[in-house]
Amino acid sequence: LEDAVIVVKDDDGKTVVRVTIDPQPGRSAMTGGMWTGLFGLLLGGPVGWAAGAAIGAGAGALTAKVVDLGISDEWVGWFREAVKPGTATVAILASEIVEDHLVKEVHRFAGAELVYANFDDEMMARLRDALIE
């Protein structure tokens, strides 16, 4: 499993997205502010701490907005629009998949809908059948 995105849309159409590996702006700002603040404190005392913390927090938040790891922001946007109100969508980016194990695991989610996958036609049919059973 390389990345996963969970998209939940409530009955009113409000969407919440959780991304597993992309940096989050709040956490990145806090981490950047802490480390550059510490570095500023060592170099410039209290004034260096304040300046370093402010610059690091801004840089951390900006970096989180620019960096896109795993599932692309375009796909996340597509899933945000595609998910139906009152449901949730899980997008998974995986490599080196053992197809028989995947089909066995999908049986647990009977009744779910497969929105998109880039498997061949035979594997897509196996997954759809597993969701029906």
Mean pLDDT, contiguous 10-residue spans, the chain (133 residues): 82 84 62 74 77 75 60 80 85 81 84 79 88 79
Question: How crowded is residue 98: how many other Cβ atoms within 10 Å of its Cβ?
Answer: 9
pTM of the model: 0.55
Helices (H), the chain: 25-66, 73-82, 99-106, 121-132
